[in-house]
Amino acid sequence: RRDPAGPGRPRSLPALPLVGSLLQLAGHPQLHLRLWRLQGRYGSLYALWMGSHYVVVVNSYRHAREVLLKKGKAFAGRPRTVTTDLLSRGGKDIAFASYGPLWKFQRKLVHAALSMFGEGSLTLERIISREAASLCETLSAAQDMALDMGPELTRAVTNVVCSLCFNSSYRRGDPEFEAMLEYSQGIVDTVAKESLVDIFPWLQIFPNKDLALLKRCLKVRDQLLQQKFTEHKEAFCGDAVKDLMDALLQVRLSAESSSALAPGLELTDDHLLMTVGDIFGAGVETTTTVLKWAVLYLLHYPEVGPYTQGSRIPGLPSQPCLLSQIGLVRHPEVLRIRPVSPLLIPHVSLADTSIGEYSIPKGARVVINLWSVHHDEKEWDKPEEFNPGRFLDEQGQHIHSPSPSYLPFGAGIRVCLGKVLAKMELFLFLAWVLQRFTLECPQDQPLPSLEGKFGVVLQVQKFRVKARLRDAWRVGS
Ligand code: HEM
Ligand code: PLO
């Protein structure tokens, strides 16, 4: 069964029966860093065994682009794991679904719905600006207090996806929002953690703390999704499509889905629920995480902070140079230095294929280590240094990546479905906040750690900040 040294295969870490290469990985909670360092001994492309699964680890942008773009279709599969199967009811969502006609159809539907309600349209800009304004009000009220911005950033971002998915939003202290915060944290803490249950599915019969937590959290999430679904079904009259949920219901009612799908394929209630669950979950956890990283880096690098001291611009900032100075140049660098999804979502080869000169068998799991791609010293000058200016062109006007070794949203047919939405949110939220406030570390506290916590997203440890309204924005000035 095992042939780690098959013809032309990548070099493999030593593997033991049953556990595979687990011993080399055990005790390293920061899996992306461990896999990054293993390059020293095994080269940038190597293989390992997770239990009985053959895993290929890609650490260079050339190989990453080959997998995602040039041979995108051959590597478009997803592995099935115990935790993601629970999360997505056996892959009925988009992110953890295997490649196939249903997955394609779900992607197309969401894409169409997102462009209709938001992307690129004024509606989306209005929704985000409304939430940004409300966030700034809250920060203003808490001025000069040491504040954990986490929950407020989460609420602002949640309300944007809530508007898109369900045409609703949450007020401060809303119990449903508090419940969502809690279950989502539980899911982030447990899902896709290459925990023992995912490596040895038969361990499921033993009680497992993480698995129990995940199941508890999923129960709460499923209740919430089901409730939104039922409300929409009851109110839906077929013509006025107000949100993603309505758009999905409409497709089901129209003949479109039956004619667009091959006989025997059906978009079930579960597919609709899991699709919305994905967009809602991805919409909240990713963007919030980037915003927290952005704030944290500003505390560490105050000199790249306020370019706009003293200027007061009502409404949205509009001059291009100001735009780039306030918000635009920051998020590309934040996404480089702390990629939200440091190992993407694992891909699976759907046929015998190759990467570079190495042959890769069908069914191999392929992990793209985005951390390595974004910290490659041959591509990036001082990769651990936060330097938003590296993404500005010579005139300081436009954003461009100085290296092709940059793939924060992945690429190719599995590229992030929320890329446009996410970029717009990051830009607008950062622009609104940084234009109005200077962010400082409370005096009695050390600078918070820049070390992330590895998981399905690279999480930020909790920290507090003082948001001071800039002089130009104080009432009466
Ligand atoms: C997939 C990054 C925001 C929806 C992904 C992947 C990455 C990523 C790296 C995996 C690509 C792969 O496996 O090759 C990000 C980042 C975000 C962000 C950095 C924020 C800054 C969002 C938002 C949404 C979203 C706001 C929802 C509207 C999805 C979905 C997938 C995905 C549905 C799965 C696509 C598939 O498997 O076909 N994202 N994402 N993401 N993202 Fe995002
Ligand atoms: C986040 C917690 C939610 O409660 C459920 C959820 C759904 C979709 C997941 C998301 C979580 C984490 C980030 C993921 C997203 C799909 C695509 C995205 C994995 C688990 C990324 C960054 O790849």
pLDDT tens readout for residues 236-293: 887 788 889 999 998 888 755 566 677 778 889 999 999 999 999 999 999 999 999 9
How far is it, in rounded angstroms, from Cα 351 to Cα 361? Answer: 7
Residue found under tokens 């130009």: 472
Q: State the closest ligand 1 atom to the C-alpha of 164, by its place in the atom list counted from 1.
A: 28
**Residue 64: beta bridge partners?**
none
In short, whether 278's Cβ falls inside 6 Å of ligand 2 is: yes
Q: State the closest ligand 1 atom to the C-alpha of 78, by its place in the atom list counted from 1.
A: 37
| pLDDT in the model for residue 122 | 63
Q: Could you tell me the CA-to-CA distances from 342 to 14, 33, 337, 362 in Å, in that order?
A: 24, 9, 10, 24
Query: Do residues 183 and 284 make contact, with C-beta atoms less than 8 angstroms apart?
Result: no
Q: State the closest ligand 2 atom to the C-alpha of 340, by its place in the atom list counted from 1.
A: 22
Alpha helices in 191-208 (DSSP H): 196-199
Query: Do residues 25 and 31 make contact, with C-beta atoms less than 8 angstroms apart?
Result: yes
Q: Is 178 exposed, middle or buried (0-12, 13-18, 19+ CB in 10 A)?
A: exposed
462 Cα to the center of ligand 2, angstroms: 20
> Which amino acid is residue 421, in one-letter code?
L
In short, whether 340's Cβ falls inside 6 Å of ligand 2 is: yes
- H/E stretch holding 366 reads strand 365-368
Protein residue closest via CA to atom 13 of ligand 2 = 282
CA atoms lying within 13 Å on the CB side of residue 250: 16
Q: Could you tell me the CA-to-CA distances from 50 to 63, 91, 163, 423 in Å, in that order?
A: 21, 21, 40, 35
The pTM score is: 0.93
Q: Phi/psi zone of residue 264: left (φ > 0), alpha (ψ -120 to 50 degrees), beta? A: left
Q: What is the DSSP letter of 151?
A: H
409 Cα to the center of ligand 1, angstroms: 6
Measuring CA to CA, which residue among 68, 65, 86 is closest to residue 77? 68
**Residue 365: beta bridge partners?**
55, 348
**Each residue of 111-123: pLDDT tens digit?**
998 887 765 556 8
Protein residue closest via CA to atom 20 of ligand 2 = 188
How far is it, in rounded angstroms, from Cα 402 to Cα 61? Answer: 13
> Which amino acid is residue 88, in one-letter code?
S
Protein residue closest via CA to atom 22 of ligand 2 = 341
How far is it, in rounded angstroms, from Cα 427 to Cα 291? Answer: 10
15 Cα to the center of ligand 1, angstroms: 32
Protein residue closest via CA to atom 39 of ligand 1 = 416
Tokens linked to 215: 């199941």
| pLDDT in the model for residue 310 | 40
| pLDDT in the model for residue 25 | 74
| Sheet of 347-348, strand order | 11-12, 45-50, 53-58, 365-368, 347-348
Residues of the chain with pLDDT under 50: 1, 306-321, 323-324, 477
Substitution site in 66, 188, 417 for ligand 1 pocket (most atoms within 8 Å of beta carbon): 417
In short, whether 407's Cβ falls inside 6 Å of ligand 1 is: no
Tokens linked to 118: 């938001």
Measuring CA to CA, which residue among 231, 345, 232 is closest to residue 278? 345
Query: Do residues 64 and 407 make contact, with C-beta atoms less than 8 angstroms apart?
Result: yes
Phi and psi at 146, nearest 5°, equal -80, 115
Tokens linked to 17: 């029966």
- H/E stretch holding 146 reads strand 146-147
Cβ neighbours of 313 (radius 10 Å): 14
Query: Do residues 345 and 437 make contact, with C-beta atoms less than 8 angstroms apart?
Result: no
**Each residue of 369-387: pLDDT tens digit?**
999 999 999 999 999 999 9
How far is it, in rounded angstroms, from Cα 122 to Cα 118? Answer: 7
Query: Is 368 strand, coil or helix?
Result: strand
| pLDDT in the model for residue 327 | 54
| pLDDT in the model for residue 280 | 96
Q: State the closest ligand 1 atom to the C-alpha of 407, by its place in the atom list counted from 1.
A: 9
Alpha helices in 167-208 (DSSP H): 175-190, 196-199
In short, whether 146's Cβ falls inside 6 Å of ligand 1 is: no
| pLDDT in the model for residue 311 | 43
How far is it, in rounded angstroms, from Cα 250 to Cα 236? Answer: 9
What burial letters (b/e) apply to 439-451, b meaning 16+ CB within 10 Å?
bbbeeeeeebebe
User: Which residues have a Cβ under 8 Å from the Cβ of 382 and sit 6 or more positions away?
Assistant: none
